[in-house]
A and B are shown apart, each in its own frame.
Chain A
Amino acid sequence: MAEIRFTIDDKPCTAKAGQTIWEAARDNGVYIPVLCHYDGLKPVGACRICTVRVNGRLMAACTQPIGKDMIIENTAPDLEDMRRALIEMLFVEGNHMCPTCEKSGNCELQALAYRYGILAPRFPYLWPRREIEAAGPHLLLDHNRCIQCLRCVRAVKTKDDKLIFALLHRSGKVRIGLDPELGPRLTEETAQKAMDICPVGAILKKEVGFAVPIGKRKFDAAPIGSETAEKA
């Protein structure tokens, strides 16, 4: 199969046909931040953190297929600032009390905020009133921290492919819901899987908490995305 040639921030790169911009960039050692996307899941383009400029137009790198001779900008100051703004918006539109959060140190939203050196959001806090749901014996759903990335909806299903998580309501009222029958019957393993796939602390497995000490957590030592650059 013919190689696709493209550039990203002037770096000449090659890709395989059928790859998305994000996959192609990763294989060339270029990190494009993602939040709703998770390698292996069907991309949905929900969060727009991965926005890049392709031949002058903004596109979501996680959904857009790579094309021949694309000229991609990834770290232009306006793009980086837009990503920062998106991260800040996610912080103010939920209730994120990192000091009390079990995901702290392992959270991708927080890790992105660290990577971008965000000290305080430019937007006012909204303080929505959201619930915490003790969803069955193994699972805790904290809607205060959900960023509606739909990873849980896409990744956690029954063996016969039935949805366990789903998106309820519309616009500002949108929230993740658990199937009233399947949810409480989740096994411990599935609960763990759901917690691991959730980028933030919205899905937590009950009983064991704060198991990894500060200093040994996922993003304690190096910024999110460091591995992509290292592999190249």
Chain B
Amino acid sequence: MSKPVIATASLAGCFGCHMSVLDIDERILKLIELVDFNKSPINDIKTFTRPCDVGLIEGGCCNTENVEVLRSFRKNCKILVAVGECAVMGGLPAMRNGIPIKECLEEAYLHSVTVAPEDRLIPNDEDLPVILDRVYPLHEVVKIDHFLPGCPPSADIIWEALTALLEGRPLNISYDMLKYD
């Protein structure tokens, strides 16, 4: 029987959750024995080459490209896991939610003290993904099967979730694993 396949992506996140996946220390050797990785920034596979069992997604959706990637994960992965605060509730990028998008762009590209006067320009190239009105948590865009909060989630909760999902048993999240920070 072939090994279960995992895919991962970082949307509007900081890569901290991916770091936390690597933080499982020597258990990573066991993980590599247990699973194959498909599309993921860890191995730099850019497009899905086969259907996957588990998709781990870090970060929420802040632009149209995030939405596309998320939808392709939903299509290609049997189980989709929202990993980390940004995926679960938008996280720090969502601090712009509630502020009109025009105000955000003007602040970032026109009025910010770090913008040189000659560089004052709001990016508007057709190759750039369009920014969304606000940052959305994953489950407000597609169906999500499991949530792992934390900023980042601890290596232990990630390990528990992965082993549980691979063994097909329910997640057993203990009190000290569940943190929102």
Q: Which residues of A contact B137 (CB under 8 A)?
A: 120, 125
For window 31-69 of B, CB contacts with A under 8 Å fall at none
Tell me which residues from 152 to 181 in chain B have a Cβ below 8 Å from any Cβ of chain A. Answer: 173, 175-176, 178-181
Q: Does B98 contact A (CB under 8 A)?
A: yes
Asked whether B139 is an interface residue with its Cβ less than 8 Å from the other chain, the reply is yes
Known contacts A119-B148, A127-B134, A223-B175; is A100 also within 8 Å of B89 by CB?
A: no
The interface on chain A, measured as residues whose beta carbon lies within 8 A of the other chain's beta carbons, has a size of 28
Please tell me if the beta carbons of A120 and B82 are within 8 angstroms of each other in the complex. yes
A117 interface contact, C-beta 8 A: yes
Whole-angstrom CA separation of A105 from B95 in the bound complex:
21
Q: How far is the CB of B136 from chain A (nearest CB, A)?
A: 9
Q: Say yes or no: B148 contacts A98, CB within 8 Å.
A: no
| A39-62 at interface with B (beta carbon < 8 Å) | none
Q: How many residues of B contact A (CB 8 A)?
A: 29
Contact call A113/B173, Cβ cutoff below 8 A: no
Pairwise interchain contact B88-A95, C-beta atoms closer than 8 A = no
Q: Pick the contact of A117 from B85, B178, B179 — CB < 8 Å?
A: B178
Contacts of A110 in B (CB 8 A): 180
A113 to B89, CA, bound (A): 14
Bound: A15/B153 CA distance, A: 43
Verify if B15 is at the interface (C-beta below 8 Å from A): no
Q: Check B95–A97 contact: CB distance below 8 A.
A: yes
- A97 lies within 8 A of B91 (CB): yes
Given A97-B95, A114-B178, A120 and B147 contact (CB-CB distance below 8 Å) = yes
B98 near A99: Cβ-Cβ < 8 Å: no
A129 to B97 CA separation, bound complex (whole angstroms): 8
Where chain B touches its partner, the secondary structure class is loop
How far is A196 from B61 in the complex, measured between Cα atoms in Å? 36
Q: B57-100 interface mask toward A, CB cutoff 8 Å, 1 = contact, 0 = none? A: 00000000000000000000000001001001111101101110
Q: Which residues of A contact B99 (CB under 8 A)?
A: 129
A216 nearest CB across to chain B (Å) = 13
Q: Tell whether, in the assembled complex, residue A97 and residue B98 are in contact, meaning their CB atoms are under 8 Å apart.
A: no
- Establish whether residues B88 and A124, one from each chain, have CB atoms under 8 Å apart when the complex forms: no
Contact B149 A119 (CB under 8 A): yes
Q: Pick the residue among A104, A114, A119 that contacts B175 (CB under 8 A).
A: A114
Query: Whole-angstrom distance between the alpha carbons of A99 and B90 in the complex?
Result: 12
How far is B175's CA from A100's CA once the two chains are assembled, in angstroms?
Answer: 21
CB distance from A221 to the nearest CB of B (A): 8
**B151 touches A (CB below 8 Å):** yes
- Is A128 among interface residues, defined by CB-CB distance under 8 A? yes
Binding site for A on B (CB under 8 A): 82, 85, 88-92, 94-95, 97-99, 134, 137, 139-140, 144, 146-149, 151, 173, 175-176, 178-181
Known: A99-B85, A99-B181, A104-B181. 9 other contacts (CB 8 A): A97-B89, A97-B94, A99-B91, A110-B180, A117-B178, A119-B88, A120-B82, A120-B139, A120-B144
